[in-house]
């Protein structure tokens, strides 16, 4: 598919920039999907959080035709047991403030995004990842008990872990995505404590394995599916689109952690809600109590292969533009996560758009209307119930000419889409 055949760009300069960006990425990454999953890599080339030296990408350098997860682990925040203050626990009052780990917790995120404390009991949020996390359920129990959330276990029917074919055994080998899986589970829990959680583990970090896992999640009754991974779009990008098309189920995906440039699949598919990222900071004395700006790493870009959906109307991109909505993704303002596999030995702080995607899937679950999201069009017709993010940018190398594609501006912009949750009215 040649995107220049049937489109008349609104602004030729923008189109030339877009095509030059695509050519640069293809030259650098070769054809198709590039990147792979591996254990946490702390070499210079794997540093996360652009401009910061205290983060590492959980999934490092890659093989061709594979995808990578987008979790970014703070390397300066490690360890610590997950416990509540004994007195608070005994009194049934939830966690004692002094006992809480570093990083944002569920109460912080609910306060920042004005979310209700109940909802989603009839929803099942699936997360799709590559490889097995053998401690996933045990680690999730620590996270939830630390923050006073209700148990979510296999025994009580809240939690279920399966392979990409939907069976409990055999599970795949560990692919180094343990931190990613812990982040996904914790973010769904933070957004929607009453939602059920389904973890589907793909055999390999390929679009076919993970796409098959999405199909399995839907077949098993998932109402929302989060995908915190991706690969730079290439000429074969359309071959994976069918995996992520499930009307009636909200399919959500991270926009990526590369800043402005070539968009990532599956986030670029028109049937997917593409989730960008922000930096979220407490701000006493303001009406909201928080400030939010576009995160420097949040992925955004204009597709060279996928046509613009009828419901998307931004001026300077003739193709599908990423992202649609956003939530906190900056590792410097990231959530607390508990894990004991593949790089975590207890509590840590983890970010990346791998945090924002499962959180948004949980918000959709909390609202309980997944049928509204066969795509992201609902946000384009009604975005009044979102916080508009109007500052920050995601310029990590390629400029977008100062416009919305890489800058937080009033209304729609690439790094944060239409904005972040302001309650569940927009969901």
Q: Is the pLDDT of residue 45 over 60?
A: no
CB 254 within 8 A of CB 356: yes
- Sketch out the chain's domains with CATH numbers: 12-421 (3.40.50.200)
- Residue 18 clears pLDDT 50, i.e. is over it: no
- Residue 125 phi/psi, 5-degree rounding, is -95, 120
Structure tokens at 356: 């924002």
d(CA 382, CA 230): 27
**In the predicted model, is pLDDT for residue 62 greater than 80?**
no
- What average pLDDT is seen over the chain? 86
pLDDT tens digits for 233-291?
A: 988 899 999 999 999 999 999 999 999 999 999 999 999 999 999 999 999 989 999 99
Report whether pLDDT(44) > 50.
no
Lowest mean pLDDT among 44-53, 120-129, 189-198, 415-424: 44-53
pLDDT at 8 over 50: no
Q: Which residues pair with 231 in a beta bridge?
A: 265
In this prediction, residues 123-133 reach a mean pLDDT of 98
Short-list 55, 24, 23, CA closest to 41: 55
pLDDT tens digits for 174-197?
Answer: 999 999 999 999 999 999 999 999
What is the pLDDT, as a whole number, of residue 325?
98
CB-CB contact of 41 with 344 (8 Å): no
What is residue 96's predicted lDDT score, i.e. its pLDDT?
53
Burial class (CB in 10 A: 0-12, 13-18, 19+), 345: exposed
Strand ranges inside 71-191, DSSP E: 72-78, 124-130, 159-163
| Per-residue 3-state assignment (H helix, E strand, C coil) for 226-284 | EECEEEECCCCHHHHHHHHCCCCCEEEEECCCCCECCCEECCCCCCCEEEEEEEEEECC
- Calpha distance 135→182 (Å, rounded): 9
Tell me how far apart the alpha carbons of residues 198 and 183 are, in angstroms, rounded to a whole number. 14
């Amino acid at each position: 598919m040649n995107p220049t055949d049937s489109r008349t760009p609104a602004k030729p300069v923008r189109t030339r920039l877009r095509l030059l960006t695509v050519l640069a990425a293809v030259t650098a990454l070769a054809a198709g999907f590039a990147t792979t999953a591996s254990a946490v890599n702390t070499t210079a080339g794997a540093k996360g959080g652009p401009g910061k030296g205290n983060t590492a990408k959980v999934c490092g350098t890659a093989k061709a035709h594979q995808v990578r997860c987008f979790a970014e682990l703070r390397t300066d925040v490690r360890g610590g047991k997950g416990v509540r203050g004994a007195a608070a626990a005994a009194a049934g009052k939830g966690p004692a403030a002094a006992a809480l780990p570093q990083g944002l917790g569920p109460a912080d995120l609910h306060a920042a995004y004005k979310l209700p404390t109940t909802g989603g009991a009839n929803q099942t949020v699936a997360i799709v990842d590559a490889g097995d996390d053998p401690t996933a359920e045990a680690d999730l129990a620590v996270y939830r008990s630390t923050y006073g959330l209700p148990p979510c276990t296999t025994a009580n029917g809240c939690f279920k872990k399966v392979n990409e074919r939907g069976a409990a055994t055999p599970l795949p080998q560990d692919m180094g995505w343990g931190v990613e899986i812990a982040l996904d589970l914790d973010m769904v829990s933070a957004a929607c404590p009453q939602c059920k959680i389904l973890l589907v583990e793909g055999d390999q970090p390929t679009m076919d394995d993970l796409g098959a896992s999405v199909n399995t999640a839907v077949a098993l009754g998932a109402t929302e599916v989060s995908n915190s991974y991706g690969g730079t779009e290439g000429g074969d990008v359309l071959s994976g689109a069918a995996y992520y098309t499930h009307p009636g189920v909200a399919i959500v995906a991270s926009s990526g952690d590369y800043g402005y440039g070539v968009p990532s699949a599956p986030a670029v598919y028109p049937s997917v809600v593409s989730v960008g990222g922000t930096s979220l900071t407490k701000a006493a004395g303001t009406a909201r109590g928080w400030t939010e700006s576009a995160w420097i790493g949040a992925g955004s870009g204009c597709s060279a292969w996928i046509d613009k959906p009828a419901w998307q109307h931004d001026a300077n991109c003739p193709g599908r533009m990423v992202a649609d909505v956003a939530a906190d993704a900056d590792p410097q303002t990231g959530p607390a996560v508990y894990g004991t596999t593949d790089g975590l030995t207890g509590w840590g702080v983890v970010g990346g758009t791998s945090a924002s995607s499962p959180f948004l899937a949980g918000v959709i679950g909390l609202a309980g209307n997944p049928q509204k999201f066969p795509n992201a069009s609902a946000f384009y017709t009604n975005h009044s119930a979102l916080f508009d993010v109007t500052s920050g940018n995601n310029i990590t190398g390629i400029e977008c000419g100062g416009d919305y594609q890489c800058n937080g501006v009033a209304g729609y912009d690439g790094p944060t889409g239409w904005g972040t949750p302001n309650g569940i009215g927009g969901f």
